[in-house]
Structure 1
Amino acid sequence: MKNAEIFKALKSFEIFKDIPDHQLHWLIDKGEVRTLEVGHPIFLPGDPIDNTLIILKGEFRFFAISGEQEREIGTKVSGEVSGFLPFSRGKIASGKGKVIEEATILFLHRSYEKEMLREHYELSQALVHEMTSRVREFTNFQKQTEKMAALGKLSAGLAHELNNPASAILRSSLELKKHLAHQPEKFKKVIKIKLTDETIDRINDLLFEKITNHSGHKTLIQRKELEDNLGYLLEDFEVECAFELAEDLADFGFEEKDLHQLASMVTKEDFGPVLHWMGDNLMIEKMVNDIQESSERISKLVKSVKVYTHMDQSPEKKRIDIHEGIVNTLNILNHKIKSNNTEVIQDFDHSIPPLLLHVSEINQVWTNLIDNALDAVSEVENPKITIKTWQQNNEVKICMIDNGKGIPPEIASRIWEPFFTTKSMGNGTGLGLELVMNIVERHQGNIKMKSQPGSTTFEICLPIE
């Protein structure tokens, strides 16, 4: 392109329309125009950011690199600016830029920055304004990415947590249906039995005693030994399906003395049908209990999610018990806690009064800190996280302590910086702790960190009033 064409193009762009002509001519004189074909790399990861790029014609795209995958994060077209901008601290490209449509680009080397700032105010102002817009857009993009990443983690953990009780309900309901299908045949045998009211009461008392009082705290060896003893004894009594029935009876703590006691109440012919009837009732009780416990688990998870997200509530501050949000967050992250066998100690001071907080925001604080702590202890033996709360004067302290490897001193001062992260690309955006600090400060509180190998503590201080 000739200089006149370049000048005409620059003058037509929104960003340069109010720039004095002599400043645009300076830009053209100092710059270098290149035409790049489709597929040509503008820059690659690790390349220095040395040039301001003004797209005169064509299009190129930015890609973030995660492992061997490329993820599109933006597009630059004719009339837009990219690359180095005044006062920018970026020095090395972290992603990749590639021409999508044959592009003509004006390159201005960063060595001209001081001259431009000193002698060309309007041009400098336009490019600085472009930089602030870029930072704002990138921050919004990264925050959205952070939210989606957090949502993905919560969704994955929640799906896993819901799957277990849901599967248990399905399994128990199918077993219950199968079990009840055999009841009519067994009922015929039981209905023929003639027993006194006293004997029926004694059998019922034995049955309900086992339902209400069995502990089930036996080792695997003790349990196997009990099943074998009951099975052989039932065979001696010529009871059908002796060892299968023995397993059911062992579940509820039946012992040999219980079978002898029952045998003394009924005839030898009636002993088997009565015992099978008792076994059926015990197993129905067990399956119904399994369904009830699983249903309660699902209900608890749904309640945790509802409270965590603060659904159906206004965004205004509300007085809440801080422990409720912490516990709900632990429930939602329970899959990650269990996957690493992490011990979580809750040392709570329940005398702390309710605090006036933005519930959904403060829950993000617990989520980020607990999730970071789980990552920190993922590679240590006997992983442990302690969450402690207490009241000190007119303030509430919340400490989250993990026994991970710790945060090295050389990066400890940078953990609150926007976009700073020690995690690999795709695993962290660097906004988690910055977000935590912003939320805590919006609540007139403060947060501090101290770390050494084997102990990292994040301490939050929130005002009671």
Structure 2
Amino acid sequence: SSGSGYILLLDNSDKVIASSNPERLSYIDEATGTPLDIKQVINADPAWNPVLNFLETQRNETIERVAASVSPQVQQVLTTLDKAETGTSKGYYLVNYAAYLNNGENKQNAMDSRLLQSFELAKDSYYNGSQAYVFEIPETYWKLIVVQPDAEINAIADNLSRNLINWIALALLITAGLIYFMLTYLAFKPLKETTDKISQAENLINDKQYNKLSEVKFAEGRNEIGLVNGSINDLLDRIQSNEGKLANINQQLEIKVEERTAELQETLKELKNSQLQLIRSEKMATLGQMVAGVAHEVNTPLSYVQNNLEIIGQLTEQYEELIELVQGLKAVKTDAATDGKIDKLLADIVRASDEIQEDDLSTELKELIKDSLFGVEQITEMVLNLRNFARLDESKVKTIDVRECIEASLKIAGNSIRNQEIVTDFAPTPEIKCSPSQINQVLVNLLNNAAQASGEKPDGKIEVRTRSDERNVYIDVSDNGKGMSAEVLNQIFEPFFTTKGAGEGTGLGMAISQQIMEQHNGDIKAVSTEGVGTTFTLTLPIDNDLTEQSLVA
């Protein structure tokens, strides 16, 4: 119709062989009955000049292309053509079509037309403005010309735009729904199930309930989540499989640990017994070295106590005489005694009383008794100190002033250090928790060593000082002896190391002293200069969590 445009079908010679509107566009010559040329059909409308020029150019290019590519086989085909019927141009078109069909890539698209060019037509014989589209049909190289009015194209475009918008909106809605469905049922739901299963498996693993992992199965599939779930299932199976092996290994390890622990406990027990024996041996050796000194310390007060008692015995004879006279006077009262006899007894009583008063027997007896008591106290204290020192099982922890330990140690080692000048400087220190017996053992050992080191000097001197800071109490034991070399100083705490002669020491004193200080959470250090002397410093913490169980002996 006039409002819908028209279509012209041209052969390869640009003859119109069909028209969609033959009433308007007649394409048959009424005289000859043959198709009219395109120029004749459009009545040589100037608006069609661009289209006509394009058609002519296309026709010439096709003929030239085919002619240039003619092969011997094609030459043979051309010789067989009835040029009287087809014409030269048609022959070339047929050859070109044969070559086109010979191309395997084009066989399946042989019936597909393709747009060659579009033209904007100004006002022509039929429309105020229109668009002409030239298509090519491959198997014949015919041309299909479609003429569409601009008004109709605009209407179609508007309609297409509206439809396109509606279709886009519908597509977006459908896409959103599909995405939601896919995310919900293909992603979110499987992901949530997977995360829930992972949490369940994690709890079982944390609780070491590996045997229940077989109850946790992840849904497998061919998508990404399903593949991941399959890998997780394999992992859980391996964990459960390996757990049995690990359980057996752990059981064997526990048995071995128990056996080794029992062995270590037995070894530790033997070690503690050995340490106890070493401490006992060292104590006994120290006591053996001090036997002579202890005997002297005991014999001295014991001797003057004995002398005092003998003097007291002699002095009591005068009191006995006075008592006899008094008893005689008492007996006279019951007899018929003469006055002379009574007077004589009274005179003897007065005489004996005067003698006692003149000799000041009461004061002398008091002094003798006092001296004797002092001697007894010295003996008692010495015995007590020796007993405390010699207690092999003494490990009781007490809170004391270190001065008490030092004074007791000085008395125990009194005979060993009697030839040295003893200087003490006791600064006030806080009380500490310690085992007095063990600290005494360390101090006695240091005092004996100091006495031996300075014994060769006529002016030998031993100094004992105490000091403290916020954390520790310190005891310094110094001597002005011969000192030690750096090599000896580095070995003094090694077991069985000694600089004394054969039979003079076990070589365990300093090693045991260091062990005792370590058990008290303290320390022992030495500073020495050859020819000048040595100073040992004991460090004992003020705030100490020491317990009796932490001590060896």
TM range (shorter): 0.3 to 0.5
- Tell me the TM-score normalised to structure 1 length: 0.48
**Which has the greater radius of gyration?**
2
Q: Which has the higher contact order (CA 8 A, sep 6+)?
A: 1
- Tell me the TM-score normalised to structure 2 length: 0.41
Would you tell me which structure has more helix in proportion to its own residues?
2
